[in-house]
Structure 1
Amino acid sequence: MGSAAAEQQPLLLGQDPHGRISDLSSATIEELLEHSIPLRWWARLVAWESRMLWLLSGSSIVVSIFNYMLSFVSLMFVGHLGAVELAGASMASVVIQGLAYGIMLGMASAVQTVCGQAYGAKRYSEMGIICQRAIVLHLGAAVLLTVIYWFSGDILLAIGQSETITEPGQLFTRGLIPQLYAFALACPMQRFLQAQNIVNPLAYMSVGVFLLHTLLTWIVVYVLDYGLLGAALTLSLSWWILVLINALYIVLSPSCKETWTGLSIRAFTGVWPYFKLTVASAVMLCLEIWYFNGLVLLAGFLPNATIELDTMSICMNYWNWDLQFMLGLSTAASIRVGNELGAGHPRVAKFSVVVVNVTSILISIVFTAIVLIFRVGLSELFTSDEEVIDAVSEITPLLAISVFLNGIQPILSGVAIGSGWQAVVAYVNLTAYYIIGLPIGCVLGFKTSLEVAGIWWGMIIGVILQTATLIILTARTNWNKEVENAAARLHRSAE
């Protein structure tokens, strides 16, 4: 049998072993991986999967970074209004906006799962229904979150923040209520487009809106002098512009003619199975985002709060930039795995998981080296305070460990989303982060001399445990069974 397979492989790959990578297909790779492949073919298979990965991840990274930059730019302009305004807006962004982002992004990962698998299975008409169903649920969540946004000042006071910070924080958050509804529409629409490998147009839209947002914020804050509320409303406006452009593309583009067939009453049927996956998705991602935001809050309760909070904030800024890059790779991993499972290609899905993880680890090694080499220069970009610079330099090795872990953990989470494991990962996150990591961080931060380094160690321990669990889950996965699960999930969503 081995000799027969060997005879078939050149025919499947083409007579020329140096033929174009683009000539290959998922079906061809799936058939090849069933057999024992000669060593000379592996480089070409890796190149094929890497090409597929970077076609998706390059633009996904751009989308992730520039969507994040909208809020980042707003906070930069707010910082020039005064220290109190910046503190209030930053705290509101971490606590209130972080809560909403966790819920919305988590719910949207269900779109990634089901639409990605539907696209792989060529059930294109189902994708538009799934997107509409997600939008209905997202808007429902936005209505509930509006109450939290409106009473954000009371919430900030309840967690121990001073009235000096809560007043501007509440003003900023109330100005972001329109953005909350824009985010409820943007999340499902972007995942809907990404699931069908439409990523370049999304990248162009994100960059264009970012440039417009920067100009508008400068005009509103500096020229018109509308202050903190003006900055918040401008951020809301920019998100609505992004939503409008996304919607026009979906409705008018020939690329979506098979996947978007117009509004349908079916969006309100078969909601319960999808709702369960949505809740699991929201819990999974919320537990992750709130964990890291909570550690920043803890730094504010340390004895030397100003220095410790500045140190944590600077390090978390660099960690966030690295995370946004890796989230682009995570999105690509989710799309690749979902598409291949939907298409009934378990071996290609497994192969994709291996390639994306090796790629991300290699990138993280480079990023980790940069953090360690430029440990002093990185802090000097944010502050000239020698005490803060020294504190950041001391904690930089821990930042480097976190940057390296970013090359594994988000990617495995992307694989979990593509496979539909959100409920399982939610339990993993609860245990690793809140039952183990957070208590350890509190003990090391408040009961030892480590202070902010102790809190960070708690974060690292939680992430290591979560990552190790996901590695075990992924390594033990029966990918043939996952193909069956994907087919069953699509059948339930069509009911």
Structure 2
Amino acid sequence: MTSDHSLPLLQPALHEEEEGGGGEPSIARRLTWWQKVLDEEEAKKQVLFSMPMILTNLFYYGILLASVMFAGHLDELDLAGVTLANSWATVTGFAFMTGLSGALETLCGQGFGAKLYRTLGIHLQASCIVSLFFSILISILWFFTEPVLILLHQDTQISKTAALYMKFLIPGIFAYGFLQNILRFLQTQSIVLPLVILSVVPFVIHIGIAYALVHWTVLGFEGAPLAASISLWLSVFMLAIYVTCSKRCKNSWEGISFESFSYIFTNLRLALPSAAMVCLEYWAFEILVLLAGLMKNSETTTSLIAMCVNTETIAYMITYGLSAAARFGSTLVAFVVILLPLMAWFF
């Protein structure tokens, strides 16, 4: 007698019996199929794994979005400039850093599965070196944001405002690269619940920092991106302290090692294709903001399109968190990842 757990989830659909016909599976049969999916122990594990990652991604993205909101409330030109700057920062920096960290999902995942725990820390250091190098290149590009945006036929005043925002956000790109690497390092060890707390705290602190710098100091508009940079570095320090002090990382993190330099090219072979893939996904939406800047009344159109794209990015963070559970292999996660965008589009 075989147990229920040995039965496959995807079974051939039964046709309606004598009186039904028509070749359609019965409602009872469909409900039974979904009941088996939802009752699977693996599905429950994936939900418990993915929900903390959804919250973590939302809170870290909320740091950047909150700064945009604080700066955008000052006046219409600032709103257009900050939304254009946020889109430019995403397509040239944040998306690229997220993609680069994708190499750790493979390298650290293999090391953790093979119980070569020490190699996880080595790969983390190699990835941070790669992120540091590209952060320097990106910071140079961000410093010359104004002429680049004007070259792309954006409004001169909006480009000037966006460039000012970008200059104060430059320290944040270094922190964001390290942040994404540490997140992948911990995710591959199934350490996810502490990440929720470590993302909520800097997000809440960021609200206070941003409000204080924008409204209580002479910085004003410049205070919003500076607050984002400060909060991102605060997030990195909190994660670094956790990795150093947590007993769950004692085998995977043994301190800084020069051995990591020998793994840089190994990391690059996976990081660059991953970065290209993520950037193309982001560019498909963020290019709409640049196109809006070519229209008449660009202050209004740029702001409106950018706010739509930011709303879409929030929805993307949800599915991005769900995708973190995909390494376990899940029919349920695949269904939810497909269903959520369809529901968002419908409503």
Q: Secondary structure at the match of 1:196?
A: coil
Indicate conservation of the 8 Å contact 2:84/2:289, yes or no. Answer: no
Indicate conservation of the 8 Å contact 2:84/2:306, yes or no. Answer: no
Offset, 1:136: 0.6
Q: Which residue of 1 aligns with 2:71?
A: 78
Q: Which residue of 1 aligns with 2:47?
A: 54
Amino acid aligned to 1:221: V
Q: Which residue of 2 aligns with 1:457?
A: none
Amino acid aligned to 1:216: I
Gaps of 5+ in 2: 12-31
Q: Secondary structure at the match of 1:197?
A: coil
Q: 1:226 to 1:95 in 2, by over 3 A?
A: same
Match of 1:354 among 299, 324, 331: 331
Q: Deviations over 1:318-352 (max 9, x none)?
A: 32221111111012224x3xxxxxxxxxxxxxxx2
Higher relative contact order (CA closer than 8 Å, sequence separation 6+): 2
Q: Deviations over 1:211-236 (max 9, x none)?
A: 00001111111122421222211111
Q: Which residue of 1 aligns with 2:24?
A: none
Match of 1:118 among 106, 111, 116: 111
Gaps of 5+ in 1: 14-31, 337-351, 372-495
Q: Deviations over 1:61-85 (max 9, x none)?
A: 0111111111111111101222222
Matches within 5 A, 1:379-458: none
Offset, 1:145: 1.1
Percent identical: 31
Report whether the alignment pairs 1:140 with 2:133.
yes
Q: Which residue of 2 aligns with 1:321?
A: 314
- Rounded Cα–Cα distance in structure 2 between residues aligned with 1:96 and 1:319: 16
Indicate conservation of the 8 Å contact 1:96/1:148, yes or no. Answer: no
Q: Secondary structure at the match of 2:190?
A: coil
TM-score (norm 2): 0.86
Amino acid aligned to 2:309: M
Matches within 5 A, 1:462-477: none
The number of residue pairs the alignment matches comes to 328
Match of 2:257 among 257, 264, 286: 264
Q: Secondary structure at the match of 1:270?
A: helix
- Rounded Cα–Cα distance in structure 2 between residues aligned with 1:319 and 1:359: 17
Q: Secondary structure at the match of 2:40?
A: helix
Amino acid aligned to 2:189: Q
Offset, 1:299: 2.6
Q: 1:366 to 1:282 in 2, by over 3 A?
A: closer
Q: Secondary structure at the match of 2:256?
A: coil
- Rounded Cα–Cα distance in structure 1 between residues aligned with 2:291 and 2:271: 29
Match of 2:88 among 90, 95, 111: 95
Q: Which residue of 2 aligns with 1:163?
A: 156
- Rounded Cα–Cα distance in structure 2 between residues aligned with 1:169 and 1:58: 34
Q: Which residue of 1 aligns with 2:99?
A: 106
Offset, 1:121: 2.6
Amino acid aligned to 2:335: V
Q: 1:35 to 1:231 in 2, by over 3 A?
A: closer
Indicate conservation of the 8 Å contact 2:143/2:166, yes or no. Answer: yes
- Rounded Cα–Cα distance in structure 2 between residues aligned with 1:206 and 1:363: 24
Q: Which residue of 2 aligns with 1:235?
A: 228
Indicate conservation of the 8 Å contact 2:56/2:195, yes or no. Answer: yes
Indicate conservation of the 8 Å contact 2:80/2:299, yes or no. Answer: no
Indicate conservation of the 8 Å contact 2:158/2:299, yes or no. Answer: no
Q: Deviations over 1:115-136 (max 9, x none)?
A: 1232223221111111111001
Match of 2:294 among 290, 301, 318: 301
Q: Secondary structure at the match of 1:221?
A: helix
Q: Secondary structure at the match of 2:101?
A: helix
Over 6 Å off, 4+ runs: 33-37, 39-42
Q: Which residue of 2 aligns with 1:282?
A: 275
Indicate conservation of the 8 Å contact 1:146/1:177, yes or no. Answer: yes
- Rounded Cα–Cα distance in structure 2 between residues aligned with 1:249 and 1:36: 42
Q: 1:36 to 1:320 in 2, by over 3 A?
A: closer
Indicate conservation of the 8 Å contact 1:49/1:355, yes or no. Answer: no
Amino acid aligned to 1:119: F
Amino acid aligned to 1:185: F
Report whether the alignment pairs 1:223 with 2:216.
yes
Root-mean-square deviation (CA), in Å?
A: 2.6
Amino acid aligned to 1:359: V
Offset, 1:359: 2.8
- Rounded Cα–Cα distance in structure 2 between residues aligned with 1:309 and 1:86: 9
Report whether the alignment pairs 1:333 with 2:310.
no
- Rounded Cα–Cα distance in structure 1 between residues aligned with 2:200 and 2:156: 37
Q: 1:46 to 1:216 in 2, by over 3 A?
A: same
Q: Deviations over 1:67-109 (max 9, x none)?
A: 1111111111101222222222221211134310121011011
Q: Secondary structure at the match of 1:269?
A: helix
